[in-house]
Amino acid sequence: MLFVQEGDGYPLYARPRFPGGRPSLADIAAVRERQRELGVPEAFEWVHETTPDLHDIAVEAGLEVLRAPLMVLEEDALPEPHPHVRVLATRPPEVPVVAGIAFSSPGTARGEAGAADRDAALAGATQENTRHRHAVADLPGEGVLAVGTAQRAGDVVEIAGIGTLPAARRRGLGGAVTAALARDALDRGAQLVFLSAGSEDIARVYARVGFRRAGTACIAAPPA
Ligand SMILES: CC(C)(COP(=O)(O)OP(=O)(O)OC[C@H]1O[C@@H](n2cnc3c(N)ncnc32)[C@H](O)[C@@H]1OP(=O)(O)O)[C@@H](O)C(=O)NCCC(=O)NCCS
């Protein structure tokens, strides 16, 4: 199945039907051809445990496959709310700006980029209405240091785009933003809150605020 974006949101990926048959190299080639026709990314995502054969086929097709811990919220393990994290229905300009700087420094290590880089990038950025919920860690005297987004389909919520400015890492803010979005999702009736962690190191940040590993999300694309 190939999801095609309508209106706002991220450009989406193709995924196997569930339950489906055994995937083949020809299936992957056909989907990639259609993605090129539509001008959408040649991206695939699936849950390894439900379609275990697809991993090796995707690698054989020349795609790079990230195996990301797929984690589900265990409600009772959520920590107390952080006093300076809030959840918003509109997307303030800091959300894409801080996420952009954070994702330019992958991994969990601290780094140089900080509030001054954020402020330089904020010039001219505007607030936007989206269908998602957004969280910001907005520290007195420091401004927005960490952000994240939650998107909902029915009573299922996925948390994504968690990012902390490199200079503000390892202060608990990434975990606090994730926890605030999870709490907000539950308060608004979500029955299942999940996320995929980019690595085992990042999974520890989410585990600390109540997420438990449920499987492996495979995220595949052609090499950059
Ligand atoms: C992943 C990311 C969001 C984590 O943000 P963060 O604000 O540093 O997260 P936290 O502070 O909650 O946790 C990070 C580490 O700091 C530690 N920590 C938390 N509070 C702390 C405190 N008060 N003092 C010292 N260390 C602390 C945590 O224990 C954790 O340690 P570990 O790596 O040994 O497990 C950030 O590194 C990032 O933006 N990475 C790039 C973007 C990205 O990959 N996002 C996730 C996509 S799935």
Domain count, the chain: 2
Which of the listed residues 84, 85, 118, 171 should we mutate to test ligand 1's pocket, taking the one with most ligand atoms within 8 A of CB? Answer: 171
Cis-peptide into 166, omega within 30 deg: no
**Per residue in 55-108, pLDDT tens?**
999 999 999 999 999 999 999 999 999 999 999 999 999 999 999 999 999 999
Question: What confidence tier does 10 reach under pLDDT thresholds 50, 70, 90?
Answer: low
Q: Are strands 211-221 and 64-73 parallel, antiparallel or unpaired?
A: antiparallel
Segment 22-29 shows an average pLDDT of: 94
Enumerate residues lining ligand 1, CB below 6 A: 102-103, 106, 108, 146, 162-164, 169-175, 197-198, 201-202, 204-205
CA-based nearest residue to 194, from 45, 94, 55, 83: 45
User: Which sign does the torsion angle of CA 165, 193, 202, 218 carry?
Assistant: negative
Ligand 1 centre to CA of 169 (Å) is 6
Q: What CATH number is given to the structural domain containing 119?
A: 3.40.630.30
What domain range is 130 assigned to? 75-214
Long-range contacts of 109-113 (CB under 8 A, 24+ apart): 109/166, 109/169, 110/166, 110/167, 110/169, 110/170, 111/166, 111/167, 111/169, 112/166, 112/167, 113/165, 113/166, 113/167
| Type of residue numbered 61 | A
Q: Indicate whether 7 and 52 sit together in one domain.
A: yes
**pLDDT of the residue at 8:** 63
The answer to whether position 81 is within a domain reads: yes
